[in-house]
Amino acid sequence: MEPTSKTRKKKEAHSLQEIGERLMELSDDQLRIIDLPAEIYEAVAFAKTIKKGGGLRRQKQYIGTLMRKCDPDPIQEALQNIEQGNYNNTAAFKEIEYWRDELVAGNKRLMDDLLKKCPDAERQQLAQLIRTAIKERENNRPPKASRALFQYLKEIRFEQSEETDKSH
């Protein structure tokens, strides 16, 4: 595996900062809908009180730094849903985040329930993603496997809901 280039790291940091700036544009109600870590929520709320100048720039950079510590995909998708006016999907993403967090915490009953609820899900693939995400969290690594688990859960969740829609 190649080390990440400095340019790529800067681009990733800048894109995370942009997500933070988009969060700052939301109303307080919209911010509450997104399941943000408390630290990011507080930093965004504080940034909204700063009107201009170097303090605002530094606060935006700080939000970008905080964003590196969490999985930005669910936040970005929730932002897109809000920006498109689709609040229903936000609830679905919160549910998927909950599933991911519970599975990584070791909730085996939830895994069995998911496999019953979503017959297209593959037990082995799900178990492997969970194991990798657990190891990643234990070793304080970036949440790459956690993101992959989230994406897989999202796939099986929406495949299941599409099948339910077709049968009705």
Q: Does 111 score more than 80 pLDDT?
A: yes
- Averaged pLDDT for residues 87-91: 65
Which CATH class name applies to 1-70? mainly alpha
Query: Encoding tokens for residue 94?
Result: 């919160």
The single-letter DSSP state of residue 62 is H
Q: pLDDT digits over 23-68, tens only?
A: 888 877 778 777 788 888 899 889 888 888 888 889 988 988 888 8
The span from the CA of 134 to the CA of 94, in Å, is 20
Indicate whether this model's pTM tops 0.85: no
| CATH tag, 71-168 | 1.10.60.30
The span from the CA of 45 to the CA of 28, in Å, is 8
The span from the CA of 50 to the CA of 127, in Å, is 45
The span from the CA of 150 to the CA of 128, in Å, is 13
Going from N- to C-terminal start, the domains of the chain cover 1-70, 71-168
